[in-house]
């Protein structure tokens, strides 16, 4: 079996700072990580590799420095790493990203065998759209399984897969035919630790690197900014509320302070008082 996992290298957004004057992202010095959601996809692929014996290819579109994230994926246990990198991809939105990745998946299929399963994370922490997975599935005509919490069974002989999917009000159990695209739900598994030996191997491993032309993209108008129907016209910081919090200056013991808080609350919003009574009465009955 061949499994491809799409991983994105993202800035660790916990450490992103916005320039106070120009409102631009200060990227310098911000460490990059594998998109945390993609680790659940990678771990699930590695578990299938353990149980069914699969080859796992990690695929990433990004700048040349994204090779670092691919090496990390090799350290965890992926067998092959493919980096799709080209200046023509800069500024891609979800449509252009899913196009580029689907072309790379086509070449991966041709060179190394058609994957039975393509995994993506649920979403990225920088793009944060959860749309690239569905986009790839539509383009490649793969059966789409999103928000998967568990792979129940993979039957390679029959070419079928059964999964549990997180729906809005419950869990759907779905059965479909391979090949499929799975977007893995978060917190469904825990990434294994990579070993020192793997890390050493990964440091020396070849990262297969492809450009737009390498994966057969002839029409560059489908890539990057030009291939992106969405246009970002304005980036700005959330506005501060015009009035700041009214501070409750309460003196005395705790009881007095608690009462002062409640008085201030009811004075500020008399309707809340009625609501709370209604709610609390309901609760006590």
Ligand X SMILES: Nc1ncnc2c1ncn2[C@@H]1O[C@H](COP(=O)(O)O)[C@@H](O)[C@H]1O
Ligand Y SMILES: Cc1cc2nc3c(=O)[nH]c(=O)nc-3n(C[C@H](O)[C@H](O)[C@H](O)COP(=O)(O)OP(=O)(O)OC[C@H]3O[C@@H](n4cnc5c(N)ncnc54)[C@H](O)[C@@H]3O)c2cc1C
Positions in the binding site for ligand Y (CB under 6 A): 13-14, 125
* Smallest separation (angstroms) from other proteins to the CB of 88: 5
Which positions from 252 through 271 interact with other proteins, judged by CB under 8 A?
Answer: 254-255, 257-259, 261-262, 264-265, 268-269, 271
Q: Which residues are at the interface with ligand X (CB under 6 A)?
A: 6-8, 35, 37-38, 59-62, 94, 97, 101, 120-121, 123-124, 127-133
Assign 272 to helix, strand or coil. helix
Give yes or no for residue 155 binding other proteins (CB under 8 A).
Answer: no
Residue nearest to ligand Y (CB): 14
Of 43-51, 71-79, 83-91, 200-208, the segment contacting other proteins by CB under 8 A is: 83-91
Which residues fall within 8 angstroms of residue 12, CB to CB, at 6 or more apart? 30, 31, 32, 33
Cα–Cα distance measured from residue 32 to residue 82, given in angstroms and rounded to the nearest whole number = 18
Q: What H or E segment, with its residue span, contains residue 21? A: none
- Asked if residues 76 and 156 have their Cβ atoms less than 8 Å apart, the reply is no
Q: What H or E segment, with its residue span, contains residue 184? A: strand 180-184
Give yes or no for residue 139 binding other proteins (CB under 8 A).
Answer: yes
Give yes or no for residue 199 binding other proteins (CB under 8 A).
Answer: no
Q: What H or E segment, with its residue span, contains residue 155? A: strand 143-155
* Smallest separation (angstroms) from other proteins to the CB of 29: 15
> How crowded is the C-beta side of 17, counted as CA atoms within 13 Å?
8
> Between residues 128 and 155, which has the closer beta carbon with respect to ligand Y?
128
* Smallest separation (angstroms) from ligand Y to the CB of 14: 4
Cα–Cα distance measured from residue 38 to residue 42, given in angstroms and rounded to the nearest whole number = 6
* Smallest separation (angstroms) from ligand X to the CB of 39: 10
197, interface contact from ligand Y, other proteins, ligand X, none, CB < 5-8 Å by kind: none
Cα–Cα distance measured from residue 37 to residue 226, given in angstroms and rounded to the nearest whole number = 28
176, interface contact from ligand Y, other proteins, ligand X, none, CB < 5-8 Å by kind: other proteins
Cα–Cα distance measured from residue 110 to residue 87, given in angstroms and rounded to the nearest whole number = 24
Token duo for residue 232: 């970002």
Which positions from 228 through 247 interact with other proteins, judged by CB under 8 A?
Answer: 228-238, 240-241, 244-247
């Amino acid at each position: 079996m061949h499994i491809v996992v799409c991983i994105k290298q993202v800035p660790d957004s916990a450490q992103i700072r916005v320039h106070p004057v120009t409102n631009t992202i200060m990227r310098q010095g911000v460490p990059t990580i594998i998109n945390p959601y993609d680790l659940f996809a990678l771990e699930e692929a590695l578990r299938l590799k353990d149980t069914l014996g699969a080859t796992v290819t990690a695929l990433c579109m990004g700048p040349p420095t994204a090779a670092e994230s691919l090496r990390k994926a090799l350290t965890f246990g992926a067998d092959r790493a493919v980096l799709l990198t080209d200046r023509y991809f800069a500024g891609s939105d979800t449509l252009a990203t899913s196009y580029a990745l689907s072309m790379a998946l086509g070449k991966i299929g041709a060179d190394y065998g058609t994957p039975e399963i393509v995994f993506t994370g649920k979403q990225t922490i920088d793009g944060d759209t959860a749309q690239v997975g569905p986009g790839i599935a539509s383009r490649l005509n793969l059966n789409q399984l999103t928000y998967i919490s568990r792979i129940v069974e993979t039957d390679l002989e029959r070419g079928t897969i059964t999964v549990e999917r997180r729906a809005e009000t419950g869990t759907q159990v779905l059965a479909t035919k391979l090949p499929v695209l799975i977007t893995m739900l978060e917190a469904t598994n825990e990434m294994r630790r990579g070993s020192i030996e793997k890390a050493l191997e990964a440091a020396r491993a070849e990262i297969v690197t492809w450009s737009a032309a390498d994966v057969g993209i002839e029409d560059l108008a489908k890539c990057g900014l030009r291939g992106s129907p969405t246009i970002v016209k304005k980036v700005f910081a959330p506005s501060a509320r015009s009035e700041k919090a009214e501070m409750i200056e309460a003196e005395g013991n705790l009881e007095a302070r608690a009462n002062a808080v409640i008085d201030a609350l009811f004075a500020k919003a008399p309707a809340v008082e009625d609501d709370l009574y209604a709610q609390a009465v309901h609760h006590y009955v």
